[in-house]
Structure 1
Amino acid sequence: MNPIEHLWDELERRMKKHQPKNQDQLRQTLQAEWEEIGSDVTEKLVESVRSRLYECYRMKGYPTKY
């Protein structure tokens, strides 16, 4: 239900391409990949909030497809 979870999933998918050797490389790679996630991805997630809330309301709090 939480759109931020989808953003974390996207970052995780991107990080699987890398194998940082130390904490500094990990930090740099995370930041670079985070910056590469386009605004279109975040805009889509923000726009999906309304439909997520409506689905929750429609299902009267029961599980949804999200």
Structure 2
Amino acid sequence: SFSANNESVQVTCEQSSLFTKNYKCKLNWTPTLFGLGLRDEVFGVHMFQLTHECELAVDPHRAGDIL
């Protein structure tokens, strides 16, 4: 589940052509120091936000078709 303050998910859908839709998902995660809260820096080390993106093109008129 993505219920923590250091996690977020964004999903968008857009029509890419007459027959396909593009779904885009973006997952953001920020590390914490053993769950002690959000910090930009720990012991002089910058804590970077991790991002993972995925894009899927689907033909909604043909079952099971992923492009």
Interval containing the TM-score (normalised by the shorter chain): under 0.3
Q: TM-score, normalised by structure 2?
A: 0.28
More helix by share: 1
Structure 1 or 2, whichever has the larger Rg, is: 2
Q: TM-score, normalised by structure 1?
A: 0.28
More strand by share: 2
